Chain A
């Protein structure tokens, strides 16, 4: 046994040395040399990693058979005895103060068992970063997708009919729809205060002004991208059932149930131990089902009615009320030398955040870090601002801001290649990341196969022939 410990001791030292030699940029591992670990610190390089055997292979899914048989159980396929159906009334204005909500006529409608307004929600705010979003807007509605009241009735049709009987008195407020206008001092402020900017990020590397001054050519252009809705084929769906012991079970199409349970505990003001959140098979997420939406509404309607309540978003709800991809306005100023080598890149990003923060923090972070592109640039300045507007809330969507900035920097690479008479592939190879390149935030990059990938792809689709 003693011998083995000694062997391990030697191995640890060797491994640390070997690791440092391979990745000099890394800090040495904090391996407890005096108290050697008994497991190997590094796994041998697996064959799979070297050969990526998945490429070109068919992938089957364990749930593929039930999908094909139509027997996969999504939330809308689940029913309970005496279950009610909930529908949500949306705001009539993009920005308004709600003076009053009268649900009394709706409650007299056939089949209606319960109604709910924002004033009845125990803690009427949620959000993965800032808790700036109401469950049901009250007293301010900040975009047309804000729910203002909800109804639970014995059928969906009864619930829809009852929505028409809810009387909401609004006092319209000035609204702002353009993110650049929202930056101005005299613009309407979506959440009050003196600015609509709710998150910003700055990345500095080198001296961008000096780099631009030293450049042979400077290219400037504004790029913008639009809103994108995820359009999962299964709309957001929830069933809540409150039992006699004061515990609630919630079946939800939510992707992050642990986070969701925290938000539910907060909004419902009850301990997590009394909330059972069941993540079901999801009919498409793409980032749009990463935070709670109607779960607290359905839970509270279930508590009021003492019945299970189901809510399925209509496709219209899905477009106006679920989150969407951030539209970006991107100002790129790039300095290059005569050979097309990038010396400096200055970027301003304005993210149209819509009415609430949602996953903007992640989006602005990833968008900013990736904004200069996969290119070696010594002088970089990225300034990014997320601004509130009275529009649909923007949140998580595949890539978290990466596709938007990619569109901008790659478009500008083409602009520069065209102006300088350099082959678009060549200008990318001249600037592209290679092994140990430093990212704009100073991270030393490993396993970089950018140039190899570009070259191989260009060969495969015969880039040279297309150019000729």
Chain B
């Protein structure tokens, strides 16, 4: 079946078998390997992408259901000139160790900051509850998200 969607602002399409998940389509048909396959059952969050403003486990969403949708993946965060504040803060805090949870974690965090520019620690924890990390213990990740939010608000204020 033909699936047409917008990924990181670009129109993309692929002919995929009907059982293809959005994750598989992104990784294998569109060459966007940032989102990862960790558990394939929606538990770990490594496959998180934003679909029409909602962060979803792309391993649980059929590609066909995303037809016509606007999808943001980790590849859509940085520009050619600069990192997204979340990426910068994650890097400074050493918030990623093996890095496998990173793309999903960052996308969930981005979706949080898009909808809630000044989240409390509790809200950050809640927003990242669907993203598992086995290396860091989460502390640095949460600190990075809070700081990235502050940084984005300052940037907003100076514009």
Contacts and interface: CB of A to CB of B under 8 A. Distances in A.
A70 B38 contact: no
Nearest to A79: B28
A66 B74 CA distance: 11
B134 interface: yes
Q: For B33, B99, B101, B135, which residue has the most chain A Cβ atoms within 10 angstroms? A: B99
Q: For A60, A282, A283, A314, which residue has the most chain B Cβ atoms within 10 angstroms? A: A283
A464 to B, nearest CB: 27
A325 B39 CA distance: 20
Given A70-B73, A70-B103, A314 B40 contact: yes
Interface size classification for chain A: 35 or more
B44 to A, nearest CB: 6
A71 B91 CA distance: 14
A76 B40 CA distance: 13
B90 A77 contact: no
Contacts of A76: 27, 33, 36-37
B64 interface: no
Contact of A283 (B73, B78, B99): B99
Q: For B27, B36, B75, B87, which residue has the most chain A Cβ atoms within 10 angstroms? A: B36
Given A230-B134, A233-B98, A284-B98, A70 B34 contact: yes
A312 B102 contact: no
A354 B39 CA distance: 24
Contact of B102 (A68, A73, A79, A285): A68
A60 B87 CA distance: 13
A232 B28 CA distance: 22
A374 to B, nearest CB: 24
Contact of B92 (A60, A63, A231): A60
A315 interface: yes
Give the interface SS of chain B, mostly helix, strand, loop or mixed.
loop
B40 A315 contact: yes
B90 A315 contact: no
A457 interface: no
Interface in A269-301: 281-286
A58 B39 CA distance: 31
Nearest to A155: B17
Interface in B44-65: 44, 46
B98 A71 contact: no
Interface size classification for chain B: 35 or more
Contact of A69 (B17, B27, B87): B87
A74 interface: yes
B40 A67 contact: no
Q: For A64, A65, A312, which residue has the most chain B Cβ atoms within 10 angstroms? A: A64
B120 interface: no
B102 to A, nearest CB: 5
Given A60-B91, A63-B99, A70-B102, A231 B134 contact: yes
A351 to B, nearest CB: 24
A65 B83 CA distance: 9
Q: For A67, A70, A72, which residue has the most chain B Cβ atoms within 10 angstroms? A: A70
A47 B16 CA distance: 61
A67 B28 CA distance: 20
A59 interface: yes
B74 A69 contact: yes
Nearest to A61: B94
A74 B100 contact: yes
A314 B39 CA distance: 7
A235 B41 CA distance: 13
Interface in B124-157: 132-135
A70 B74 contact: yes
B97 interface: yes
A209 interface: no
Contacts of A65: 83, 87, 91
B106 A232 contact: no
A157 B99 CA distance: 27
Nearest to A69: B78
Contacts of B39: 315
B33 A77 contact: yes
Contact of B99 (A59, A67, A286): A67
A64 B34 contact: no
Interface string B2-44: 0000000000000001010000000110000111111111011
A68 B90 CA distance: 7
A60 B74 CA distance: 20
A234 interface: yes
A26 to B, nearest CB: 37
A232 B86 CA distance: 24
Contacts of A72: 99, 102
B113 interface: no
Contacts of A70: 33-35, 73-75, 102-103, 106
B96 A234 contact: no
18 contacts: A58-B94, A60-B91, A60-B92, A63-B99, A65-B91, A67-B90, A70-B33, A70-B34, A70-B73, A73-B33, A74-B100, A76-B27, A76-B33, A157-B17, A232-B98, A233-B100, A283-B99, A283-B100
Interface of B: 17, 19, 27-28, 33-41, 43-44, 46, 73-75, 77-78, 83, 86-87, 90-94, 96-103, 106, 132-135
Given A61-B97, A70-B73, A70-B74, 11 more contacts: A59-B94, A60-B91, A68-B87, A68-B96, A77-B33, A157-B17, A232-B98, A234-B100, A283-B100, A315-B40, A315-B41
Interface of A: 58-61, 63-74, 76-77, 79, 157, 230-235, 281-286, 312, 314-315
For the complex of A and B, 3 pairs with smallest distance between CB atoms: A70-B34, A67-B99, A283-B100
